[in-house]
Copies of this chain bind each other. A is one copy, B any other.
Amino acid sequence: MQALPLHAEDGYDLWLRYRPLPAADARAWQAAASQLVAADATPTQAAALAELNRGLEGLLGTAPARVSTVRRDGALVLGTPASSPLVAGLRLDAATLGREGYLIRSVRIDGHAATVIAGNDDIGVLYGVFAFLRRMLEGRASTGIDLRDAPRVQLRLLDHWDNLDRSVERGYAGQSLWDWHKLPGHLDPRYTDYARANASLGINGTVLNNVNAKALSLTAPWLEKAAALADVMRPYGIRVYLSARFSAPIEIGGLDTADPLDPAVRRWWRDKADEIYRLIPDFGGFLVKANSEGQPGPQDYGRSHADGANLLAAAVAPHGGIVMWRAFVYSHEQPDDRAKQAYSEFVPLDGSFARNVIVQVKNGAIDFQPREPFHPLFGAMPKTPLMMEFQLTKEYLGFATHLAYLGTLYEETLRADTHVQGEGSTVLRVVDGSLHGHGLTGMAGVANIGSDRNWSGSIFDQANWYAFGRLAWNPAQSARDIAAEWVRMTFTADPRFVAPVVDMMMASHEAVVDYMTPLGLHHLMARGHHYGPAPWDAGSERADWDPVYYHRADARGIGFDRTATGSNAVAQYAAPLAAGFGDVHRVPEKYLLWFHHVPWDFRLASGDTLWNELAHRYTRGVDEVRAMRATWAGLSAHVDAERHRQVANFLAIQQREAQWWRDASLAYWQSLNRLPLPAGEVPPPHPLSWYQSLSFPFAPGH
């Protein structure tokens, strides 16, 4: 009997598994990695060298000898022109790489074939090492290499909604990674692996604490904890940021106001920033959620969001810090369509933010729904840098157990055309700064990372972390290419596995949209924890927390009229787009019920009625999950048993829950429209009251 390692494949190694390459590949790469010339004088140089050795040792069985000069074919040469005379001697065209870019090139040095991995700064070299190892893992050629790459976005950040008690708001992967109680005295080795994984994608910042922030995190003991984490991250090019509570000057500063124009408040924030930078010299800056969902903010004092952002920006500016000010705001008092409020509040402020402020905008105007049209703020604030906020954790997409690859969602948003400067004015060009000529650019992902052994709660949720990181580096990459890359690194490069799994991933997000919120429906989940369907929910303390506010279904029709006859949210988009969205016959069907209230017997492009099409979409979503299960079941020969079983179990859970979403939704719509299901559709097995009776007081993430 062959005893296998107990937990060799529990998902901990992510896409950095470095398992032995197939023999032919290994031979080729061994020839190309016979020696290693690299410095380790700085922490980042040491990290690059260690990663390369770890990778080569794993992939090839042995790491090459480290030498000081090239004496034979096959040397790997790492460095910057400053750190390596060999690199300097190659006179590489590194000018356009910037600080973080890298190049990898097959060269000749002293008559020998060699491969150089170079950058203008140590961090570029580290990124190059990860790119080099990715190339090996993907099974590509070891010779004739001529790669160069540099990030198109400046701030590539994970936002952790991690609380000080180690719970994670909307987290489905265990507790927070940050073991605050043991910090700064103990640094879990996992912090380093977190930094490695992020650096492998080019992520260069991490906001440690929840945007629903506690002032306590800005007190000395907690800053020391954050500083200890910053020390771990620094060699990997990752800066630490903190979410700041706007009322901190009152709560921990002893002031009686947090008015952004009050001199004592301004002084308090300046002193606080000085204190932080003494502990964390490369502190990134603040993320702020203000005057939203009960958080304090400048409006408490009759000031604007710009006043608030500029207050903090002035405090960190002398240290080179920035402020990310969230545009996710909607007012308790405001009766207007919630989808419109961020635009209404922020567009008038365009041009009034300090130079080191960037406004952080969610991909859509409601809240990370399975599908939303892009947020109308993109393109609408030409004088203000805007950064993208995507959600990696699947708050509205089935938590950790549903397979939903979000690369396609991110791609759909980034490639959407705002038309604000004519065709081609994509969201991507807002985000990378090219549309309006901004140098300060950014993309943030609400992290899906926790203490679970596999980091993200499921193996496939690792792909969303991966896709986010790769898109933050270059938002023009294709979701399909990224999926293929991830599959090869995470499982195997065998095309018999890669092709069906990539297809499955590419179809997965649409499947969730189908079984949860087809045709532009949105916000139909249960209150509070957001687990499972509850389109019937009503009577919250705020109308716009209720599904009935969003679907507006009755006996005659369904959907939210956001045209001129309704809330006129369409008018927040550029004219050509508004015209299309506002026309019930031209709007893309995927946004139909987002923008329009239509009768149940409205005819769709298919010729079928809305009601029949709706029913078919729900069923199509369930069928897609069933097909995913079958695909996965047939791939067991390519995957270790532990990861295969976990994915298979989760797909079974997903199928059950997809069916539940379909059945509960149809039962509810039928209770309103009294229409029969179209022929062939199986009726829900339970009466509506049964679905309404389900309750899940301990659903995670809440």
CA distance A399 to B642 in the complex (A): 33
A652: which B residues are within 8 A, CB to CB? Answer: 185
Q: Which residues from chain B contact A63 at a C-beta distance below 8 Å?
A: 1, 3
Q: A57 near B: Cβ within 8 Å?
A: yes
Find chain B residues with CB under 8 A from A698 CB: 164-166, 180-181, 216
Distance to closest chain B CB from A236 (angstroms): 16
By a CB distance below 8 angstroms, the chain B residues around A57 are: 1, 3
A185-B698 Cα distance, complex, nearest whole Å:
16
In the assembled complex, A292 has its CB within 8 A of some CB on chain B: no
**Which of A5-13, A132-140, A262-270, A374-382 is near enough to bind chain B?**
A5-13
Interchain CA distance A180-B697 in the complex, whole Å: 12
Q: Is A586 an interface residue (CB 8 A)?
A: no
Chain A residues 39-83 with CB under 8 Å of chain B are 53-54, 57-58, 63, 66
Copies of this protein in the complex: 2
Q: Counting CB contacts under 8 A, is A296 at the interface?
A: no
Interface set, chain A 633-689, CB cutoff 8 A to B: 642, 646, 649-650, 652-653, 656
Complex contact A649–B186 (CB within 8 A): yes
A699 at the B interface (CB under 8 A): yes
Which residue in chain B gives the minimum CB-CB distance to A64?
A: B1
A53, B185: Cα distance in complex, Å: 40
Q: Is A478 in contact with chain B by the CB < 8 A criterion?
A: no
Residue of B nearest to A66 (CB): B1
How many residues of A sit at the interface, in one of the four size bands? 35 or more
Please give the distance in Å from A528's CB to the nearest CB on chain B.
Answer: 13
Q: Judge whether B186 and A7 touch: CB under 8 Å.
A: no
With both beta carbons as reference points, the residue of chain B lying nearest to A222 in the complex is identified as: B698
Whether the Cβ atoms of A185 and B653 lie closer than 8 Å is yes
Interface residues of A in 385-414 (CB under 8 A from B): 399-401
A453 contacts partner chain B, Cβ-Cβ < 8 Å: yes
Q: Does A89 contact B (CB under 8 A)?
A: no
Q: Determine if A189 and B642 form an interchain contact, defined as CB atoms under 8 angstroms apart.
A: yes
Q: Is the CB of B1 within 8 A of A186?
A: no
Q: Report the Cα distance A12→B8, complex, angstroms.
A: 13
Report B-chain residues with C-beta under 8 Å of the C-beta of A295: none
Cα separation A174 to B181 with both chains bound (whole Å): 11
Nearest chain B CB to A250 CB, angstrom units? 17
B residues in contact with A7, CB < 8 Å: 12, 189
Contact B451 A175 (CB under 8 A): yes
- Check A697 against B216 for contact (C-beta < 8 Å): yes
Q: Which residues of B contact A6 (CB under 8 A)?
A: 12-13, 54, 193
Whole-angstrom distance between the Cβ of A57 and the nearest chain B Cβ? 4
User: Residue A181 contacts which of B66, B187, B699 (CB distance < 8 angstroms)?
Assistant: B699
Tell me, in angstroms, the Cα distance from A1 to B57 when the chains sit together. 9
The CA-CA distance from A181 to B532 in the complex, in Å, is 13
Among residues of B, the one whose C-beta sits closest to the C-beta of A650 is B186
The answer to whether A182 has its CB under 8 Å from any CB of chain B is yes
> A-side interface residues toward B, CB under 8 Å?
1, 3, 6-7, 10, 12-13, 53-54, 57-58, 63, 66, 164-166, 174-175, 180-182, 185-187, 189-190, 193, 216, 399-401, 451-453, 642, 646, 649-650, 652-653, 656, 697-700
Closest 7 A-B residue pairs measured CB to CB? A3-B57, A186-B649, A185-B653, A164-B698, A165-B698, A1-B53, A181-B700
27 residue pairs from A and B, CB less than 8 Å apart: A1-B53, A1-B63, A3-B53, A3-B57, A3-B58, A6-B12, A6-B54, A7-B12, A7-B189, A10-B189, A164-B698, A165-B700, A166-B698, A166-B700, A174-B175, A174-B451, A180-B698, A181-B700, A182-B653, A185-B401, A185-B650, A185-B653, A185-B656, A186-B646, A187-B649, A190-B453, A451-B451
